[in-house]
Amino acid sequence: MSPRLQVSAHRPGSYPTLAEALLDAADGDTVVLAAGDHPGELDLRGRSLVLEADPAAAPAVGEGTAETAAEGAVRLVGSGYEATVRVRGGRLTLRGLVLVAGEGHVVDAADAELVLEGCRLEATDGAGVRATDRTRLTMTGCAVTGGAQGLVVEDGGGTVVGTTITGSADDGVVLRLGADPELRDCVVSGSGGRGVYLYQSARPTLVSCEVTDSGSTGIAVASGSTAVLQRCAVRGTGGVGIDFAAGTAGRVEGCRTERTAEPGVQVDPDADVTVVQATPAAAAGVGAAGSGGGDPARVEELLAELDAMVGLDGVKAEVRSTIDEIQVNEWRRSAGLAVGGASHHLVFAGAPGTGKTTVGRIYGQLLAALGALPGGPLKEVSRRDLVGQYIGHTAEKTAAVFDEAAGGVVFLDEAYTLTRQAGGGGNDFGQEAVDMIVKLMEDRRDTLAVIAAGYTAEMVQFLEANPGLASRFVKTVEFANYGPEELTLIITRMISGGDYLLDDDAGPLLQEHFAGIQRGADFGNAREARKLFEKLRKVQSQRLRQLGERPTVAQLQTITADDVRVAVSS
């Protein structure tokens, strides 16, 4: 394991400043920064280092996705015209940091390997990330806000995954001079110019990306560039959605354009572009192609996955009926028939451990496979991810969560906690979050789904917190507690999935245990099965250690009836 150099002005034995730690750091070292502001304008040449936030600090972004930086985060702050972090050669990893620019770029890398994980980059006049001269960029779960451009890659490549780029004054993403990165599950929104601009023989691939609210063209391909666009969504642009100029090439597959200038996809007659399964608006140059971009095979695959879940017969029926209605609406839309305003928001009510998150993930993927949503992540959040510490902070945090989930699902766990004031005092901003959620659910009903989950009685109170909240949800899906037979089947699957075998006489003991277990309001259902499985593994391990010899393969696999008796009695 590489050495870890701690930087903290208050912790004994640590380096008081980042500059001093960098003087002593050797290639391969990790520099761990305590919460607070650290001076930027770092100039790293030929170094191989990791700079990461102390695990105790507040996250720069939510779990792999963008979120407004909270108080207590680790910030590298620039102040002048130089980049906050300048890299020339070598390999630099930045992890969990908030990087704030002065008037230069936030991160400027040339001829280097640059890795950004879970970072938030706040630009002003320069670019958020500028990667040039054969730089290989790996960027995962980051957020870039402001600046002239969010991301600039020239003569370089790599991968950018799960990253949001918002509020660029000019173009959001600029790729040129043969740049060939892959952008996957990214969101580019609110650019003053083009959302994504490719020129001078750029050759990128964009998969499941969303470009929204750009002042000009959503995705512009020019000057000999070649672009592969798969399952992307372009919405609300000042110009056409996707534009291929003369001399360009590429493929547009399963992409959607909405609320853009006509046509949605524009291809010059002198461009070599294949359009497959585009929306009906994709008519210029190649004519309309496809019928809505749905994937029937994927729909059936996901429904089979839903059916394979233990129990939940009522839930499965409710989800199937919702999906049936959405499917018919998509068919009507592709046939040019009228379709009423559709909302995909649901309430999942019931006890914990009943599969609500898993069903939510399948539901979001079904919406994408039907073409009702562009496809995006399931962003699971709770009160702490939405509620801020001062007036206006909550609305900002809540909007950021919806940005992160663009194209997918916001899964709001224990939603009713937003309407309960901590300690009964004032200055609780949960209601502000609820009001913002209501607005965003309406504004973005075509681009994402919201699932509010929690106990049945408490969810009724939650829906009464705002006059417009209940009307935003299509229906409430009730998740019942699992019965003894279902819990036994769940733990049996866990046992076989862990490469264990259950003695024939052990199964009835498990069912007897679940039949007699106390079921209070907080009964965990499948979580109880998981806890018992972990106990069984420990009990078996203790038994095998006492054999005095190496167990056989059969002994390593077998969980006995005695193991069950010991586990359920502890």
pLDDT digit string, tens, across residues 251-273: 998 898 888 988 889 999 999 99
Average pLDDT over residues 288-316: 72
Q: How many CB atoms lie within 10 A of CB 387?
A: 20
Higher-confidence residue of 2 and 55: namely 55
Instruction: Please give the pLDDT value at position 334.
Output: 66
Higher-confidence residue of 334 and 99: namely 99
Using a pLDDT cut of 70, give the percent of the chain over it. 90
Instruction: Please give the pLDDT value at position 288.
Output: 30
Residue 302 contacts residue 259 (beta carbons within 8 Å): no
Instruction: Please give the pLDDT value at position 393.
Output: 77
Average pLDDT over residues 91-105: 94
Closest CA to 529 of 360, 309, 307, 353: 353
Is residue 38's pLDDT more than 90?
yes
Is residue 413's pLDDT more than 80?
yes
Helices (H), 308-421: 313-334, 356-370, 383-386, 393-404
Mean pLDDT over all residues of the chain? 84
Q: Helix or strand or coil: residue 532? A: helix
Higher-confidence residue of 408 and 376: namely 408
Average pLDDT over residues 347-361: 82
Is residue 367's pLDDT more than 90?
no
What is each CA distance from 30 to 42, 117, 122, 420, 516, in whole angstroms?
16, 14, 23, 42, 52
Residues with Cβ within 8 Å of 107's Cβ and at least 6 positions away in sequence, in order, are: 83, 84, 85, 87, 94, 99, 114, 116, 121, 128, 129, 130
Paired tokens of 527: 């979580």
Q: Helix or strand or coil: residue 406? A: coil
Q: Average the pLDDT over each of 53-67, 71-85, 440-454 and give the range with the smallest value.
A: 53-67
Instruction: Please give the pLDDT value at position 147.
Output: 94
What is the tens place of the pLDDT at every residue in 146-195? 999 999 999 999 999 999 999 999 999 999 999 999 999 999 999 999 99
Paired tokens of 389: 């510490």
Instruction: Please give the pLDDT value at position 294.
Output: 61
C-alpha 227/C-alpha 230 separation (Å) is 10
C-alpha 84/C-alpha 148 separation (Å) is 15
DSSP assignment of 128-193 equals EEEEETT-EEEEES-EEEESSEEEEEES-EEEEES-EEE--SS-SEEEETT---EEES-EEE--SS
Instruction: Please give the pLDDT value at position 520.
Output: 66
Number of helices (H), then strands (E), belonging to the chain: the values are 14, 39
Q: Which amino acid is at 281?
A: A
Instruction: Please give the pLDDT value at position 47.
Output: 93
Instruction: Please give the pLDDT value at position 407.
Output: 80
Instruction: Please give the pLDDT value at position 62.
Output: 52
Average pLDDT over residues 308-320: 83
Instruction: Please give the pLDDT value at position 342.
Output: 63
Three-class HEC string of 411-475: EECCHHHHHCCHHHCCCCCHHHHHHHHHHHHHHCCCCCEEEEEECHHHHHHHHCCCCCHHHHCCE
C-alpha 353/C-alpha 148 separation (Å) is 46
Is residue 472's pLDDT more than 90?
no
Q: How many CB atoms lie within 10 A of CB 544?
A: 14
Using a pLDDT cut of 90, give the percent of the chain over it. 39
- Rounded to a whole number of angstroms, the distance between the first and last alpha carbons of the chain is 38
Average pLDDT over residues 521-528: 75
Q: What is the pTM of this model?
A: 0.53
What is the tens place of the pLDDT at every residue in 324-343? 887 787 777 666 666 665 67
- What count of Cα atoms within 13 Å lies in the side-chain half-sphere of residue 234? 38
Instruction: Please give the pLDDT value at position 129.
Output: 97
Is residue 276's pLDDT more than 80?
no
Instruction: Please give the pLDDT value at position 291.
Output: 34
C-alpha 317/C-alpha 531 separation (Å) is 29
Q: Average the pLDDT over each of 288-297, 313-322, 378-387, 461-470 and give the range with the smallest value.
A: 288-297
C-alpha 531/C-alpha 526 separation (Å) is 9
Average pLDDT over residues 315-328: 82
Is residue 300's pLDDT more than 90?
no
What is the tens place of the pLDDT at every residue in 117-128? 999 999 999 999
Q: Cα 338 to the chain's mean position, in Å?
A: 33
Average pLDDT over residues 469-489: 83
Instruction: Please give the pLDDT value at position 426.
Output: 46
Is residue 523's pLDDT more than 80?
no
C-alpha 438/C-alpha 410 separation (Å) is 13
Is residue 422's pLDDT more than 60?
no
Is residue 58's pLDDT more than 80?
no
